Structure formats: C-alpha cells, structure tokens
Chain A
Amino acid sequence: QSVLTQPPSVSGAPGQRVTISCTGTSSNIGAGYDVHWYQQLPGTAPKLLIYGNNNRPSGVPDRFSGSKSGTSASLAITGLQAEDEADYYCQSYDSSLSGYVFGTGTKVTVL
C-alpha cells in the first residue's frame, strides 16, 4: 500500500553518516510535492523530523538534513548517535490519489 519506496534498513557506527532514500513517481515527488520525514522511536508516535524537503522543526538537531531531486528524496544523519536508532518514514502528497502517501519505512540501527 505504500507508494514511496525506502530501503528496509540501514546501519552505521556511532559518529558515522547514514542516508535513507525515498523513491516516488511523477504523481508525487516528481510532480513537485514536498517530501517530509518522520522519526518513530520504539513504541511511540511518529514525530516530524524534516518538512518541506530540508527544513527542521524547532528542537531537531542539525545532524538531520533532507534533500530532494527529481522523483527521489534523501534523509541524511551525520554524527550518528545511539538515540537515533528508530524507524524513519518519508511522506509526500500524490495528485493521482488526491491524498497523502507514506514511505515503506527504514529501520536505522546504530552498531
């Protein structure tokens, strides 16, 4: 049911940089709709992490950054920390569905 595709998992050692891709189509990301990212810590509700492709809400560390190009987007985490271990979801809007679409989700593991 997920319209946006993400890798199931990524991992890295503390201090490393990891990236998560989010691939869409010409009716969502490729149509110019912004991409947003959510962090979901174990057992908790999703939390807005990045909005409008590359903007961080107040309180989100600048270790998190986003980018978008064509029909894809990416989330980068630099200086990986143990507390970053969570599931991450991208989200956009789809004109053909006239609704909001989420990614398949990526589990980040800190080695």
Chain B
Amino acid sequence: QITLKESGPTLVKPTQTLTLTCTFSGFSLNTSGVGVGWIRQPPGKALEWLTLIHWNDDQRYSPSLKSRLTITKDTSKNQVVLTMTNMDPVDTATYYCAHRHRYVYYFDYWGQGTLVTVSS
C-alpha cells in the first residue's frame, strides 16, 4: 500500500526559502522507472506540475520555475525534499507530492497536500 505525506511550514515570509518534505512508504525510489513529483494548487485554481525526481536521480523541472526549484531524494529515509527560493504571495498554494509508476507519465498515488501561505 503506497502512501505519501507532505510536511513543512504552513507560513513563510516573502523572499524566504520554502523547504517541504515528502515522506513515503510502500515503494522504493531505487526501483527502476519510479519517480516522485511535486504539484501545487493555488486556492480555487488549477493544478500545476513543479518538478519530478527519478529513481536514477534524474531531475525534471517546470521551465517557468526551474531557477527557483531544487528536488532531492534520500532513499534511506524514503524522503523527497522540495526547495523553492524567493517565495512570493503568488506561491500560496496547497503543495502535493505524488508517486509516478514505472516508466509512465501519470501520478497514481498522491499525498494529502499541505497548504503553504506566503505572507509578511
């Protein structure tokens, strides 16, 4: 049974760096083809893909946010960490991490999400 859970601050100030952790179980990020991604959703708006890290440490980023994002993994802890620099109020959103099955382009399991508010 695959589960994922996001954790991190609920409130950050403008210009600060956001660090979110996705802790997962039920699969290994050492398995060929598997990936973990981050998707966000501003209140009342659509889903937006941010980044994904593959089993082989290959990282992919949304072109519009690439300069601000870093994704890393710690397979021994079953964790994936998202870092986003220079936070702005428009980055206020629910941030989800999600499991990508082997060699496919969709997310079959999602975390519950964590709401991050950017405000001074």
Interface residues of A (CB under 8 A from B): 1-2, 33-34, 36, 38, 44-48, 51-52, 57, 89, 91-93, 97-105
Q: How many Å lie between the Cα of A44 and that of B49 in the bound state?
A: 17
Most buried by B among A45, A51, A98: A45
Residue of A whose beta carbon sits closest to that of B66: A99
Number of A-B contacts (CB under 8 A): 65
- Nearest Cβ distance between residue B32 and chain A, in whole angstroms? 19
Interface residue count for B (Cβ, 8 Å)? Answer: 24
Interface residue B24 (Cβ < 8 Å from any Cβ of A) = no
Let me know if B112 and A99 touch, CB within 8 A.
no
Given known contacts A45-B113, A46-B96, A48-B108, A99 and B62 CB-to-CB distance under 8 angstroms: yes
Given known contacts A93-B105, A99-B63, A105-B46, A45 and B37 CB-to-CB distance under 8 angstroms: no
Let me know if A102 and B46 touch, CB within 8 A.
yes
Q: How many Å lie between the Cα of A97 and that of B2 in the bound state?
A: 29
